[in-house]
Structure 1
Amino acid sequence: MTDDLERTLDALIRDVPDFPQPGVVFKDITPLLADHDGFSAVVEALADAGRDPAGNVVVDKVVGMEARGFILAAPVALALRTGFVPVRKAGKLPGSTHAVSYALEYGEATLEVHQDAISAGDRVLLVDDVLATGGTAAATRELVEQSGGEVVGFAVLIELGFLDGRSALDGLPLHVIKAV
């Protein structure tokens, strides 16, 4: 990460204590999203995870997890000139879905993806805003694999290192913009 991007992120990501419940410090990225230059820089930095060292795109799809992952993954897909696939909470997608239930840092959840969203052999980049315990990323990886796709990496804006979420990724290449 460049010094300019680091300063931008420090200025535009704010901590909100005790949200959504006591003891949790929420990383609010809405000021970053409202800043064109900062948002653009983050999209490009995340998209780098879908390119090889020569700059060639090495993924077929970008998958974003509900809800803030959508905000980041969709423009990353556009930057990479690939398709975007949303992974949603249970009951939000029409049609046939694959589903995976998993534990969150403060509860449980079920994620779903359309069965026809990812084709066999698709190379997939996962994109989300925060890596906490790794449960959402691991569940999303499982959904992609149920669909016949191959997850080639996970790009995340913020890693909460003290929660050791990367241990849940089972060796999946991880591209972190900001570690805290």
Structure 2
Amino acid sequence: MRMNPGRQVEFHASCGHLISAPADRAGQGVRCPYCHQVATVPPPDVPYASPVVVPAGAAEPTALTALYLAALIGGIIGAGLIYLVMFDEFSESELVTVTPLWFFPVVFGVYGFVSQRLLRRIATGRAASLSEAARLTVDLAGHWAALVLFPFLVLKWRSSLLVSLAAAGFWAVLLWLFFNLLFPTL
């Protein structure tokens, strides 16, 4: 554990990752953005007799990261199979019908990774909320990023799983509107 100049306390969560929280949150629980377990923020002025040992497997991906990766890879493989291998076998209406089978896993995986990254900004004290972390990203990437980061700008949750599910729902509505407005007969 150590103090940062911005009155942040850095300490290791139970998963071994170094996380940070405001010093005024001492004694309160904060959620680790990596393992999503609640860790108690230690007081900034209490020295520890022994260092925190980081577990050997701390660098391995968490279960949620593995889930996001599997969804992303599965969605990309599904899209490749549909559009590169089996495209001629599908009618237009069948292509519309199978689009969610690859689209939602890709959206879920991408938003899972992005939300974990934004939650890390909160944990390290670079942002106070998910929407602030998203605004910082929009400032860096440009205003077009706001279209992709829209769910993060309005959601207050600190769970990458809930955020990625909500983002998938948001894109489901957009996909439905897209197909119904452009291809109403399909």
Q: What TM-score results when the alignment is normalised by the length of structure 2?
A: 0.23
Q: What TM-score results when the alignment is normalised by the length of structure 1?
A: 0.24
Higher CA-based Rg: 2
The structure where strand makes up a greater share of residues is 1
The structure where helix makes up a greater share of residues is 2
